[in-house]
Structures are given as structure tokens and as C-alpha cells.
A and B are shown apart, each in its own frame.
Chain A
Amino acid sequence: EAGVAQSPRYKIIEKRQSVAFWCNPISGHATLYWYQQILGQGPKLLIQFQNNGVVDDSQLPKDRFSAERLKGVDSTLKIQPAKLEDSAVYLCASTGTSGVHEQYFGPGTRLTVT
């Protein structure tokens, strides 16, 4: 079974530029999560999708961050415009079958904003 795929793995941009990250969850997983992990901290949930609907986006900075999961499979997370404090690893995770609570994470995208 293929794991969660993310791209790109690394991205360096200047502040005020825009950036997009892509995630393809494990096949059949209905729930998809985007997390932000700042150096020295644990992952923090940005947004949770159930199929193509948003379940929780309470911690997503909506003035600059957006995310979509149009067909209920892969997802994109966008930042526009980026700030220095957005430098972090962006992790995508998925979980699926009823009764399974563990989330499976992709390798992440390391974003550096200069």
C-alpha cells in the first residue's frame, strides 16, 4: 500500500510570494489533514477534510492560507502572501476506515521564507 505522497519536498521563497503544496493521501482514505510544524514544536492542525468537505479549519489563517480537496482525493494548500513566520514543515496526513484512529503522515514539505 502506497503511503501519503507530498510535493515538493523543499521550497524556498521570498516573503510576499505565493506557494502551493500538494498531497495525495492513502488510497481510500476519506479524511485528510494539513498540519504545520514549526521547528521545536509539535505539528499543529491547520485544516481537516472529510471527503471534499471541511470539518475543521479553525486554526487556518484564512487571510493568507487556503486549501481545497475538490474531488475528495488529493489536496492542495496555498499560502499567499507568505510571511517569514510561515517557515515550517507542512505535513499532510490521512485516515480512513471506520474504527481506525491513527493518522498516517506524508514526508512533509519544508518551506523556508526569506
Chain B
Amino acid sequence: DQQVKQNSPSLSVQEGRISILNCDYTNSMFDYFLWYKKYPAEGPTFLISISSIKDKNEDGRFTVFLNKSAKHLSLHIVPSQPGDSAVYFCAASELSNTGKLIFGQGTTLQVKP
């Protein structure tokens, strides 16, 4: 049973445009959500997070939106840059529990110059 799903394995976007990566979850106990970026041969690096008490968090070009009723979150990258090309993982956590992360399968983003 996959509790966190990223249904789009890949996404291709033109440089300067908006990239939107989506993530769905099934466990209503999740209360903290994170996005990680992963380059080949490197470990995932933390990008941005959001608590379930918020519906939006912004950090520079990156914004995460959370829709609790739909159990859906999205990552917006504006404007997209070629250096953003990587695999993006959505992760969810239940902080009142052990705080372990449950990851989605990842979405490969390609930003074309």
C-alpha cells in the first residue's frame, strides 16, 4: 500500500516556464510534508517543507501548496532553470509518531534551455 504517490514519472518544461510537480497521500495522520531533490550519484537534498497547519510555503523560486481536504500537495518552481533538472521526491511524516519519512516514487524533471 503506497501511502505517498507521485503519479507523473517525468516532466519536461522549457526554461523560464513554471514547473508543477504533484504528490498525493492517503494517510490523514501525516502532518509534515517535504520535497527533496536528487541529482545522479548524490543523496537527496532537502528543498522545502510545509506543516499541515499551513496551505502554502514559499522559498525563493520554490513554493509548496498543501490541500489537506484533497490530500494533495504540489511544488511550483518559477522560473524553471536547467539546473533544476533532477529527480524530485515528495515525502510525508507523522511528527507525533517516530517522524519517519514516507517517500513517493519520484518525478524526473527536465528543464530544456
Q: In the complex, which range does the number of interface residues on chain A fall in?
A: 20 to 34
Question: Closest approach, in angstroms, between the C-beta of B13 and any C-beta of chain A?
Answer: 21
Which residues of B36-94 have CB atoms within 8 Å of chain A's CB atoms?
A: 36, 41-46, 49, 89, 91, 93
Q: Answer yes or no: A21 CB below 8 A from chain B CBs.
A: no
Interface-centre pick from B49, B91, B98 (highest chain A CB count, 10 A): B98
Q: Output the least CB separation between A24 and chain B (Å).
A: 13
Size category of the B interface is 20 to 34
A31 to B4, CA, bound (A): 23
Binding site for B on A (CB under 8 A): 4, 31, 33, 40-45, 48, 55-56, 91, 93, 95, 101-108
Q: A40–B41 Cα gap in the complex (Å)?
A: 14
Are A42 and B104 interface neighbours, CB within 8 A? yes
Q: Assuming the A-B contacts A91-B43, A91-B44, A102-B34, are A56 and B98 also in contact, with contact meaning beta carbons closer than 8 angstroms in the complex?
A: yes
Query: Which residues in A have their C-beta under 8 angstroms from that of B98?
Result: 48, 55-56
Residues on A with C-beta less than 8 A from B100 are 33, 45, 48, 56
Contact B4 A42 (CB under 8 A): yes
Chain B hits for A103, CB < 8 A: 46, 101
Cα(A4)–Cα(B4), bound, Å: 25
